[in-house]
Amino acid sequence: MSTPSTTKTRTGVPRRAPTEAAPARHQRGVRGRTLSFWLFTGPFLAGLLVFVYIPIGWSLWLSFFEARATVNPTEFVGFDNYATMLSDGDFVRSLGTFTVFAALVVPVTWAFSLALALMVHRLRFMKAFFRSVFFLPTAVSFVAASLIWKMSIFSGVRFGLMNTVLDLFGIENIAWLANPNPPWYWLVILTVRLWLQSGFYMILFLAALQNIPDELYEAAAIDGARPGWQTFWHITLPQLRATSTAVILLLLVAAYQAFDEFYNLLAKATWGQPPLVELYKMALGENQDYGRGSAGAMILTVLICAVTLLQGRFLGFGRGDDAK
Burial of 198 (0-12, 13-18, 19+ CB in 10 A): buried
- Greatest alpha-carbon pair distance for the chain in Å reads 105
CA dist 186 and 255 (Å) reads: 13
**Cβ contacts of residue 140 below 8 Å, gap of 6+?**
196
pLDDT digits (tens, 9 = 90+) for 54-99: 988 988 999 999 888 877 787 899 899 999 999 988 888 888 888 8
The whole-angstrom separation of Cα 146 and Cα 3 is 78
CA angle, 231 as apex, 229 and 232 as ends, to 5°? 60
Phi-psi region of 28 (alpha: psi -120 to 50; beta: other; left: phi over 0): alpha
Average pLDDT for the chain = 83
- Distances from the Cα of 18 to the Cα of 14, 150, 259, 309, angstroms: 13, 75, 65, 56
239 phi, psi to nearest 5 deg: -70, -20
Residues written for the chain: 324
Question: Is it the case that residue 22 has pLDDT exceeding 70?
Answer: no
- Counting Cα atoms < 13 Å in the Cβ hemisphere of 26 gives 5
What fold, for 89-323? MetI-like fold (1.10.3720)
| Among 200, 201, 210, 192, CA closest to 136 | 200
Report the range of poorest mean pLDDT among 145-159, 168-182, 185-199.
168-182
pLDDT digits (tens, 9 = 90+) for 140-167: 999 999 999 998 898 877 778 898 888 8
What would the pLDDT profile of 196-227 be if each residue is shown by its tens digit?
Answer: 999 999 999 999 999 988 888 888 888 777 77
Q: What is the pTM of this model?
A: 0.77
Specify the pLDDT at position 176.
Answer: 86
Residue 191 has pLDDT above 90, yes or no: yes
Whether the pLDDT of residue 318 is over 60: the answer is: no
Domain parsing of the chain, residue ranges = 89-323
Residue 25, pLDDT score: 64
Contacts of 44-51 with CB under 8 Å at 24 or more apart are none
